[in-house]
Chain A
Amino acid sequence: MSSSNCKRRIVGALAALGALLVSVAASANPVPWQMNLPYGVTRVSHQIWDLHMAALWVCVALGILVFGAMFIAIIRFRRSRGAVAETWSHNTVLEVCWTVVPVLILIGLATPATLLTREMYNATDSQMTVKVTGYQWLWRYDYVSYDGKPVTKVPTIWSRLAWDSNRARQLDSGVSPYSIVDQKTGYHDYLLDVTHPLVIPAGVKVRFLITADDVVHGWWVPDFAAKRDAIPGIMNDAWAKVDKPGIYRGQCYVLCGQDHSAMPIVVKVLPREQFNAWLATQENPARLDQASRTADAAAPKPLPAKG
């Protein structure tokens, strides 16, 4: 194979790979054969996606340069083709170049990354605060404030793995993970569905105060690019302003014991009016009282008999 033919093939393959990367980028929840980060539904997640793609293409370009040079050397300077080795081992210009140019490339990547990090750390002006607490192995959500007012009458949301998933995930359950399907959307939500999702309004900057009760957990919704470790004794914060209503799923990402794979995060984003209406129905002192007395408000209904 001639070297130019070889190069064309490599470039062709990379272009095809690139097209595939871009085409699957727009999905919200994980889909089969997904190859890239989700584009997400917040400004921050879009910017991260752009930064990620920029870094990826820089790496691809450098890869083509380095591997290309190496493969040309492998093809042209083979002893079996009669190549005679030269003896030089220094070239100051070249060495300065490949020290300085990477520095410039890195500055090019670090600058937007720094600005974006600053934005991600800026949780000021949030209109809503939700406290997120990780437990082995469920999440607890408490509404702290909304629209400048404390939220006192809304009961805690205990958010644990949905019971159908929980049944299917047992060793030798005989239930196929493929049979676990969200009734409304048809999405295969095995291990990505909870009993009670967190509900937040669209178009509102929500601040999440993240902590844990027992061991370190991690709260992450990829589509929001909101992510922090949930650590006992420490209150971390993250924020998201979601414009597009929908259901967004994530998982605990810090090893937290045997059911680490079974504490998903589901956030339901409602249009603002619908959210306000929903919140009003939740403001129920009787339910609040009951919920505070029985921590497992999400207690299981008896499982249907197996078979």
Chain B
Amino acid sequence: MSTPAVEVGHYQEHHQSFFERWFMSTNHKDIGTLYLCFSFLMLFVGGSFAMLIRAELFEPGMQLMQPYFFNELTAMHGLVMIFGVIMPAFVGLANWMIPMQIGAPDMALPRLNNLSFWLLPFAFILLLSTFFMPGGAPAAGWTMYPPLVLQGGESIAFLIFSIHLLGISSVLGSINIIATILNMRAPGVDLMKMSMFCWSWLITSFLVIAVMPVLSGAVTMVLFDRFFGTNFFNAAAGGDPVMYQHVFWFFGHPEVYIMILPAFGIISEIVPTFARKPLFGYRAMVYAIACIAFLSFLVWSHHMFTVGLPLGAEVFFMYATMLIAVPTGVKIFNWVTTMWKGSLSFETPMLWAIGFIVLFSIGGFSGVMMALVPADFQYYGTYFIVAHFHYVLVGGALFSIIGATYYWLPKWSGHMYSGFWSKLHFWSSVISVNVLFFPQQFLGFAGMPRRIPDYNVAFANWNMVSSIGGFWFGATQLIFVGVVIHCVFFSRAKASSRVWEHAYGLEWTLPSPAPHHSFTVPPVVDDSQLVQTGATAH
């Protein structure tokens, strides 16, 4: 094996100190690990906010906190979960898997990669420090609507600066992903032979590039209104509060897909592996993702159906929104058809993938209902909305991240995890998440507004059920911590290089644990190693 080519790209393996390895790293795997650990930590920070919220909502009446602190919690819960958990976790997975799946030695721009990670901890230190400031943390919801957000204290400056940092971080991360996928593919890894995970991230990156700067623009205007005397959103001086909502949701809706498209990619990897059958309609899956991404720019006002848009706009945004159901439906049908006449086995990642399909579909169904303008008038601002986006973000995005962890963890660590505990984690999560969020749909129908710390006694029963589900779901995630720590540090069960018997893709050609540097020379790629797209299936 000691051909000259092997020597060429071979980095000298030198011993790195702990500080060098984890703080100065330019290695895609180490940075991926940092991202994943960070988002794991933030999951418990954001989760503890959720536990406090559900504790206050356990019964009618105020028992634990002042209403303003409750508003701080809801705002920070949203910001932490979106920018601190879901997005970094997907970027972490991208860091780990994209170079391995396309046969590259590393990300295209390794030092940029280091920067985009290290912006995150500082951004969140700034954001979370606002809890300890006079006036408290931002309390205007994660959507930060003016004029309400302008009533906040000095913490608004910290909020906006941290959002700028988060925006820069995710834009740099996406630049890196695009540059990597477009330039670093090994010969033979054509775009239309690429894994679905890489495809989903390529498209997601373009969404990030287009919309994160728009969020930065929106909050910059808030910053100027709050501190420098401009009147972008001040109606008394001719500004327009609704303009903020337009700009924000132009970011906000593609953001929703930033948090779900990589999940689609992950599910499209897991399902064929455990169905032992090529993904049904690979091309259709790629086009569906592209189509969803494109449409996501044309539907932002469905978050604003009640702000008093003209009739024509309401109807246009209703049609565009309903249209998104079509490619999304295609994806779900394709996953189910991939399972049809396969040879299914139900290892832990497959359980999470099936859980994803069911829960995401439930969230999708409620999405179709609220696309209908007249119906949305009765849903808007209620717990039905809360239930909807938690079904797609917890049952969808978070389930796919956990599924991906269970899918690739043996490849990362070189060890197998406990089948029993990981399956217990799944069953406990999938039941409790429904106890948690299904009743919230009833509360929404009954008219309970979202973001309230206290409610009429008529809403008491379902809130109590929901809170019990919430505590149960929260506690269940401790199993996850145990399984991962056990697997990484204590498990004796060695993982084979392929790990799952029908797993395809270049990452499975590397040994487990994957070596520090992936493909120091481009591998000679044989189509049978790649994800089976159907084109190569016999």
- A residues whose Cβ falls under 8 Å from a Cβ of B: 29-38, 44-45, 47-48, 51-52, 55-56, 58-59, 62-63, 66-67, 69-70, 73-74, 77-80, 83-91, 94-95, 98-99, 102-103, 106, 109-110, 113-114, 116-118, 120-121, 168-173, 175-178, 188-192, 214-216, 218, 220, 222, 225, 227-229, 231-234, 236-237, 250-262
Given A85-B276, A99-B326, A260-B67, 6 further pairs, Cβ under 8 A: A35-B445, A38-B447, A44-B374, A78-B346, A110-B322, A218-B449
- Tell me if B61 and A176 are in contact (CB < 8 A): yes
By beta carbon, the residue of chain A nearest B340 is A73
CB distance from B355 to the nearest CB of A (A): 11
Listed residue (B241, B337, B452, B456) with the most chain A CB atoms within 10 angstroms of its CB: B456
**For residue B446, which residues in chain A have a CB less than 8 angstroms away from its CB?**
30-31, 34-36, 38
Which of B145, B276, B455, B537 contacts A191 (CB under 8 A)? B455
Partner among A30, A32, A94, A256 whose Cβ is within 8 Å of the Cβ of B148 = A256
| A79/B280 in contact, CB under 8 A | no
Q: A48-B374, A253-B382, A257-B151 are in contact. Are A83 and B454 (CB under 8 A)?
A: no
Known: A77-B339, A79-B345, A89-B534. A229 touches B369 (CB 8 A): no
A34 touches B330 (CB 8 A): no
- Most B-side CB within 10 Å, residue of A56, A102, A250: A102
Residues of B within 8 A of A231 (CB): 235, 241-242, 307-308
B281 close to A99 (CB less than 8 A): no
Report if A261-B455 is in contact (Cβ < 8 Å); known contacts: A74-B344, A79-B344, A222-B447.
yes
B66 adjacent to A117 (CB under 8 Å):
no
Say yes or no for B375: interface residue by CB 8 A criterion. yes
Inter-chain CA distance A171–B61, complex, in Å, is 8
Interchain CB contact under 8 A, B315 and A171: no
In the complex, which residues of chain B have a beta carbon less than 8 angstroms from the beta carbon of A171?
62-63, 65-66
Interface-located stretch among B196-204, B358-366, B425-433: B358-366
| In the bound complex, CA of A189 to CA of B240 (Å) | 36
Q: Is the CB of A190 within 8 A of B537?
A: no
Instruction: Answer yes or no: B377 CB below 8 A from chain A CBs.
Output: yes
When A and B form their complex, which 6 residue pairs have the shortest distance between CB atoms, in order from nearest? A233-B235, A253-B381, A89-B534, A261-B452, A59-B365, A236-B308
The answer to whether A232 and B236 have CB atoms under 8 Å apart is yes
Q: Answer whether A98 and B454 are a contact pair too, CB < 8 Å, given A73-B336, A258-B68.
A: no
User: In the bound complex, do residue B537 and residue A87 qualify as a contact, i.e. CB atoms below 8 Å apart?
Assistant: yes
List residues of chain A with CB within 8 A of the CB of B459. Answer: 30
Contacting residues of chain B (50-74) with chain A, CB-CB under 8 angstroms? 60-63, 65-68, 71
Instruction: Report whether B445 and A48 are in contact in the complex, using a CB–CB cutoff of 8 Å.
Output: no
Known: A35-B445, A74-B339, A168-B61. A55 touches B369 (CB 8 A): yes
B325 interface contact, C-beta 8 A: yes
Supposing A55-B375, A102-B326 touch, asked if A117 and B314 sit within 8 A by C-beta, the answer is: yes
B374 x A117 contact (CB < 8 A): yes
In the bound complex, CA of A48 to CA of B461 (Å): 26
Given the complex of chains A and B, what is the CA–CA distance between A31 and B62 in angstroms?
A: 20
Residue numbers in A under 8 Å from B63 (CB-CB): 171-172
Which of A94, A120, A216 is close to B337, meaning CB atoms less than 8 Å apart? Answer: A94
Partner of A190, one of B60, B315, B343, B449: B60
Alpha-carbon gap, A20 to B278, bound state (A): 42
B62 A55 Cβ-Cβ under 8 A = no
Which listed residue (A67, A87, A113, A172) contacts B374, Cβ 8 A? A113
Residues A79 and B276 in contact, CB atoms below 8 Å apart:
yes
